[in-house]
Chain A
């Protein structure tokens, strides 16, 4: 648990002067001016406790805390931020929802607010205000947090995951860029294998990486776990095609992908053994920050996921929503904080500090400086536009979240690719598990 208390205490003592010092004049000045005209006025003596997921990049965390400090100073709202690891967010938020005590705000993952829709404050006015001001919300982001017409939370950002590749290797096997279709992509991977510069994607229990690329392959073939009415439709000819495609693809991979977790491809790529993989921007950032890896950093490029037979992007990117619980005593402060966070003066800086890890969910930020600060960031700007909700075409909610947590799609592919089951058996197994989760 990363306590932010030290900062908070210092701020409480030093007040505005310290805040200005910490955050720099401009941010603080804006905060003060914003507080005057803000659509949501925090209650007198408001106190907010925020739970967020543990940072990936230090600079992102720092920028977030600066925004928190500026908000605190300008609105006299006492802020307390603590972080938890990714996996602990959901259980802790669920317990808070159920017991009616704990934190006021949670910045979580995927469809978190859908798990307890009657325990959260509707954010319709916040969504309205921000959406109008900043060019509307992306489709997937809105779907992820909406129940009917109501916003159960605000999608703060999307974590992008794209093709990372070594340009020199791809050039050498005769490709100018990453092919935009599935057959072409398979050819590229075959050529890379032949050249001894293999590609590799996780087929193990890697929550982020494995789910991302396997759902991409599944959805790209027009196959889904469930349909619009949450009826299980995994056992289909389309799924079989996806299985065959992934099997052909995995035959070209570097050995050992069935044991990979989320960090394995980062390690192998940075060590120069892996030449193409699917990942967040972390590999590139790590190479950039390492003085001994400048050559590698210069050779790393990013590309969009190819588009499958279905004819439109079929990516799975994580939406990170923020929600406020009904039991909070300061609903207006909560709304004000979320709004403040997403205002241009803060959000541009925050995006920049996050170096491509975070992608906006508000369309106007597509032109945010972060996407041009380094041309190699640009691909990640599209993450929220090209993704489907985690539920695919089904209803976002706990059932979809559980299917992902239980690695049903991942295991179906891994079973088939490792030769432990034929396509029929692999699909039947997945179908059986899904039917159990989606039982009514």
Chain B
């Protein structure tokens, strides 16, 4: 692509090619452009192109292995009245908001805890990462057993303690199923939040705490007026990623419930896969995926504009 561009420019007026070449030596912006080109090509090829293709597919009736016709917004029109699609949107929002909020709360708490001087600090920090390291499908299978209708360890324990008489229908009852998959997602997601926030905590200068302590600040005040403001930029980044990952989650759900019972845990990602790959309607699946874009953009915007604000970067009073 780059070669083509330069050729078309150089062939008609050869002298301009020489000019462009000599410009490299003097014009730093021109040089910078060429340094950026490989990265741009990379981004276009691997990010923009698939995204564009996905959006294009959503306007066609493409099936696996067959080129489709352009059908305008028919796919979206159909989804607008599709109760299963709207259920998946609801599930996705519920899943993302609850899981992200809890992951943030527990992650922050863990980060603060790990930032203290505790015995075996290094080992404990490493252990916190375990849920993150285990392959998702493996942990999903483990949770699938933990929440099994017949063999759940939780039901078994509660039964033996005499607290319940019947197994809890973890993955069979819509609300329990939602709870179970959210729980599994939280378990997996906490380490990412905790470790990243911990890294942020370590950049806070101890002298600030010392000064505040001399001024007689309580521990809560230390957190509220020093730790929290200095941590906000990192929090914004971490939570953006966390929300994006949760929103687009697929493996956990697919391994645990396949979207069941009666679609109560279908996320947009799983529904898209079911319709596009298993069912073969690539166009419709692409439409469901594309419908995720506005939500994801909104999540990114929140953190983007948040990061622009000086307040978030340098503490509240420094507006």
Contacts and interface: CB of A to CB of B under 8 A. Distances in A.
Question: Are A and B subunits of one complex?
Answer: yes
Interface of A: 87, 90-91, 93-98, 115-116, 203-205, 254-261, 264, 267-268, 271, 273-274, 398, 401-402, 405-407, 411, 414-415, 418, 420, 429, 432-433, 436
B115 to A, nearest CB: 40
Given A98-B66, A406-B278, A418-B262, 8 more contacts: A94-B63, A94-B280, A204-B171, A255-B172, A256-B167, A258-B169, A414-B261, A429-B83
Contacts of B151: 267, 271
A149 B96 CA distance: 53
A116 B63 CA distance: 11
A406 B150 CA distance: 26
B200 interface: no
A255 B261 contact: no
Contact of A115 (B65, B169, B172, B274): B65
Contact of A94 (B64, B169, B173, B261): B64
Contact of A97 (B65, B166, B174, B258): B65
A82 B82 CA distance: 39
B274 A418 contact: no
B59 interface: no
B150 A273 contact: yes
Contacts of B279: 402, 405-406
B280 A90 contact: yes
Nearest to B262: A414
Contacts, number: 112
Contacts of B167: 255-256
Interface of B: 63-66, 78, 81-84, 148-151, 166-167, 169-174, 177, 257-263, 274-275, 277-281
Contact of A255 (B169, B263, B274): B169
A94 B274 CA distance: 16
Contact of B257 (A93, A204, A256, A433): A204
B63 A398 contact: yes
Contacts of A98: 65-66
Contacts of B261: 203-204, 258-259, 414, 418
Dominant secondary structure at the B interface: loop
19 contacts: A91-B64, A94-B280, A98-B66, A204-B260, A204-B261, A205-B260, A256-B148, A256-B169, A257-B172, A258-B261, A259-B260, A259-B261, A260-B149, A260-B172, A261-B258, A268-B150, A271-B151, A273-B150, A415-B262
A406 B276 CA distance: 10
Contacts of B170: 259
Nearest to A416: B262
A244 to B, nearest CB: 18
Contacts of A415: 262
A91 B149 contact: no
A402 B78 CA distance: 16
A90 B278 CA distance: 8
B262 A405 contact: no
Contacts of A271: 150-151
Contact of A420 (B66, B262, B278, B281): B262
Given A90-B280, A98-B66, A259-B171, A436 B78 contact: yes
Contacts of A96: 65
B272 to A, nearest CB: 12
A257 B261 CA distance: 9
Contacts of B82: 433
B65 A116 contact: yes
A257 B275 contact: no
Contacts of B172: 204, 255-260
A96 B64 CA distance: 10
Nearest to B63: A398
Contacts of B257: 204-205, 259
Contacts of B278: 87, 405-406
A95 B66 CA distance: 8
A274 B174 CA distance: 23
Given A204-B172, A405-B279, A258 B65 contact: no
B66 A259 contact: no
Nearest to A91: B64
B158 to A, nearest CB: 14
A288 to B, nearest CB: 22
Contacts of B275: 406
B166 to A, nearest CB: 6
Contacts of A259: 149, 169-172, 177, 257, 260-261
Given A94-B66, A204-B260, A205-B260, A257 B149 contact: yes
A418 B148 CA distance: 18
Contacts of A267: 148, 150-151
Most A C-beta atoms less than 10 A away, residue of B174, B257, B278: B278
